[in-house]
Chain A
Amino acid sequence: MMVLNKKHLLSINDLSVAEIEAILDRGDHWAHKPNNQLSFTPRLDNNPIICNLFFEASTRTRFSFEVAAKRLGYYVLNFHPFNSSVQKGETLYDSLKTLEAMGVAAAVIRTPEEKGLDEIASSVNLSIINAGDGSNQHPTQALLDLLTLRQHFGRLTGLKIAIIGDIKHSRVAQSNIDAIGKFDSSIMLSGPSALMPDPNSLPAHATIVSMDEAIETSDVVMMLRVQKERHLGSISYENYLDEYGLNKKRELHMQKHAMIMHPAPFNRGIEIDGDLVESKRSLIYTQVANGVAVRMAILEGILAGDFLEING
């Protein structure tokens, strides 16, 4: 039996390699359980209640957490801010304290704010799971990506992973750069130069390369969604597929064994050709399924403190 001795999950950097491996093992376990029933665990009055607080629209991630919780027998309270107003510092703290008083065990938070979760987490008793904070971190996405990579390649070491798109503003890219850095694999970043991070800020295992190099030499091409809501400025969507997207012509230049990933939702015809989403190379729907499995493992690990019957 393995104990995940964590109260919160705010960043992938909160986790050691051993903890990540344990989450992936448990996620793998859930990924192989039949998916045809929503609930496996009997719902008892004292089962945990988790609250989804999404201050940015994301039906997909919210629903993934909801399904994960319900499969575990947990209750789900979906909180909606009125008029989508962001709750900052004190207000969010008050909301969390009230939810805590109501008996809510964990809050899953998605926020456009990049700072502040750490501070709030240190002053509340319920658990906080970061479901994406601005351009900062999206740890559950990184974990589901790791699980998907490990399932497909059988390892997390010695892989060359290309991440293509708006790296600078992407919490998915940030979390994956951090996550993959914990294993002996390398990252190639590519996309519009205005959207590349400062090379000096990158860790040793990550480099910025040309589109051709990224496509032709990687084991995995991970495309990022063009985030229209974050304004790309000078970048035009019309030519995006040809210039920085994964179109069929580029796909031909990928290594034979190389795979395609995307955190979804995708813009078909902008960063990725629609046909490639469902092609043999695509792991995109596996990622979605693994999202539920990994989130089950995280909720369990954080709320139960340990994974019961790890091989059960």
Chain B
Amino acid sequence: MQTRCIFGALIMLIQDSILSKYARSSGGLVNYLPDPRKSKIAIAMSGGVDSSVAAYLLKEAGYDVVGITAWLIAGTGRCCDTGMVDAVRICDQIGIEHHSVDLREVFASGIIRDFHESYSRGETPIPCISCNNDMKWGHLLEYSVNVLGATHLASGHYGRVVIDDDKYLLYKSSHDKKDQSYMLWGLNQKQLAHTLFPLADMAKDDVRNIAREAQLSVANKPDSQDICFVSVGMTNSDYLTRILGEKPGDIVMISDGKVLGSHKGSFNYTYGQRKGIGIAHSEPLYVVKIDPELNTVYVGTKSDLLSQRATAKNANYIGETVMETDSLGEEFFRARAKIRYNSQPVAARIYPRDGARVEVEFAEPVEAVTPGQAMVFYGEQDRVLGGAWIE
């Protein structure tokens, strides 16, 4: 097997490193690492523990490494203000150069604007995926290659790139709990060819332990969870109210169209939400639909949340998929579809349509298919076959 040969050669080159120890333990699917003698690696650094350890591991394995931080946020946000300075200190500690690239304008006019518009359309957006596609693996990768002379951009994401002949394939990382492949489905071949995930074979505990042993100052820094451009101390709802303004509307029962109450902006709700609706009812109520035109939030019972089908747009496919034909002669491929970050993938048939759209038929009904979220398709051995944006 091609990947095994590459694996053997590389382990030789980085054999005394922590990275090689973990790579050996990973078994079959070998995480892509290039030849240290021919590579210069820019590591995207947020100032958090994952990217710091990734940088440390690459340096320790003998790579020529340079730290790079995208400066994304103009004011104070959760990640980048203190993160950038932490990244500077970590780079110094590791002994690599640090560079910050000012992407504040493109981040504001792209990612943040899309985030607001998506809420105005009644969706629940997930800006981190677009940020990965357009900022990190867009501008930052371009900058790394063109200006810093890097051959690769590494990141502290938990994902895995595997070379299969001439294709770069994306897989889940070894430890399901921290896997971030859901955030990475949008990468194309050109981007993946320059991508490294040094943490592919590690669990979060491993990463913290390595950070402590290396005495990295961010070893105990908590993980970031929230939308990075929403200021500390501000809820998503506060933020959206400030940006989009209060937009009072009705809360309506989906089954009979009865108005049960009112809301101050549909952006405060997401599909499947149960808490915070503020309506007393004989059985638990869930948000089942948001209609942006009528500015109406529909609620219903748990069964109203279920869907057997969904459509999604702007699909990206990574590597080949095995196409089959159904009884009506329509082409599809089988996959397990994951419809949100915190949900388990479910068996589904994916029907690719014209214009990069897909229609998806789940083997069993799924709860709360939410417009604005991503749907990611997994194949054998947890390979990411692709993904698309739920409509």
Contact = CB atoms under 8 A, between A and B. Distances in A.
Contact of A101 (B81, B93, B100): B81
A94 B143 contact: no
A94 B88 contact: no
A76 B98 contact: yes
A70 interface: yes
Interface in A43-67: 43, 45, 49, 66
B76 A101 contact: yes
Given A45-B217, A98-B74, A78 B89 contact: no
Contacts of B81: 98, 101-102
Interface of B: 71, 74-76, 81-82, 84-85, 88-89, 92-93, 97-103, 105-106, 139, 143, 147, 217
Nearest to A63: B97
Contacts of A98: 74-75, 81
Interface in A94-110: 94-95, 98, 101-104
B184 to A, nearest CB: 23
Contacts of B102: 79-82, 95
Contacts of B139: 82
Interface string A185-212: 0000000000000000000000000000
Contact of B85 (A66, A77, A94): A77
A66 B98 CA distance: 10
Given A82-B103, A82-B139, A98-B74, A76 B84 contact: no
Contacts of A95: 102
Contacts of B99: 78, 80
A75 interface: yes
Among A101, A102, A104: residue with most chain B CB under 10 A: A102
Contacts of A82: 101-103, 105-106, 139, 143
Contacts of A81: 102
A79 B100 contact: yes
Given A43-B92, A45-B217, A49-B88, A78 B74 contact: no
Contacts of B71: 79
A95 B97 CA distance: 21
A91 to B, nearest CB: 9
B85 A78 contact: no
Contacts of A104: 85
Contacts of B103: 82
A80 B85 contact: no
Nearest to B85: A102
A180 B342 CA distance: 68
Contacts of B98: 76-78
Given A79-B71, A79-B100, 8 more contacts: A76-B88, A77-B85, A80-B143, A82-B101, A82-B106, A82-B143, A101-B81, A102-B81
A81 B98 CA distance: 14
A45 B93 CA distance: 11
B100 A80 contact: yes
B89 A45 contact: yes
A104 B87 CA distance: 13
B70 to A, nearest CB: 9
Nearest to A50: B88
Contacts of B92: 43, 70, 75-76
A282 B257 CA distance: 89
A43 B93 CA distance: 8
A138 B81 CA distance: 30
26 contacts: A43-B92, A45-B217, A75-B88, A75-B92, A76-B88, A77-B84, A77-B100, A78-B99, A78-B100, A79-B71, A80-B99, A80-B101, A80-B102, A80-B147, A82-B101, A82-B103, A82-B105, A82-B106, A82-B143, A94-B74, A95-B102, A98-B81, A102-B81, A102-B85, A103-B85, A104-B85
A254 to B, nearest CB: 39
A102 B143 contact: no
Contacts of B84: 77, 102
A91 B116 CA distance: 24
Nearest to B92: A75
Interface in A29-54: 43, 45, 49
Nearest to A74: B92
A77 B85 CA distance: 8
Nearest to A57: B147
Contacts of B106: 82
